Amino acid sequence: MDIVILHNRIRDITATLKAAIEICKSATDAQSIPVPLQTLSSQIPWALAAFDKAREGIPTIDATSPDALALESIIKGCVKKSRSLRAYLRGVIPHAELSRLDRCRRFLGLGATVDMVVELKDGLFSDLKTLADNRAIEAEARENIKALVGFATGEPGFDLWGVPDSD
């Protein structure tokens, strides 16, 4: 997969998720959380962690290698969920508030560089951590988000399966 295409896809996913997180931060109960957000947010850390591991080797990495194919598959899956979430958001956000989603997408559409995508990734992980602290989200979903972010960022306290380390 071409590096610019990869950046553009990650940027689109990130913009949509950031807009959804803005809405969810003010949620007061589980019913006010967009369900697709929980599905998408559980995959984003994996996709971005995979991007981190692969970005130095792309575009030199063999496009037919198992690593490249797995990365492309993960990103395509996230893009599909991102499009569904974007359509969902357009349905639930009042018309006057649609500019929030469009503003996020415009701001993130200013060119693809490795540094920009890494910066977006770091901000996204921070937003996901904040979202995971929202008591309106079911406890299991909060723990899943925390565990995936912890694993993807390499922060201490979580092992591969999101179980707190005893060390």
Q: What residues does each domain of the chain span? A: 3-153
CA distance 36 to 25: 15
Q: Grade residue 148 by pLDDT with cuts at 50, 70 and 90.
A: low
Check pLDDT > 50 for residue 128: yes
Arithmetic mean of pLDDT, 33-61: 62
Tens of pLDDT, residues 69-118: 777 777 777 778 777 777 777 776 655 555 655 665 555 444 444 555 55
Q: Half-sphere exposure of residue 84, counting CA atoms within 13 Å on the CB side?
A: 13
The predicted structure's pLDDT at residue 142: 75
Give the Cβ contact number of residue 122 at 10 Å.
12
DSSP 160: T
Q: Which two tokens stand for residue 163?
A: 């179980």
Check pLDDT > 70 for residue 120: no
CA distance 165 to 159: 6
Q: Grade residue 160 by pLDDT with cuts at 50, 70 and 90.
A: very low
Q: Grade residue 165 by pLDDT with cuts at 50, 70 and 90.
A: very low
The predicted structure's pLDDT at residue 135: 77
Lowest mean pLDDT among 54-68, 108-122, 125-139: 108-122
CA distance 148 to 160: 8
Q: Which two tokens stand for residue 60?
A: 């030199």
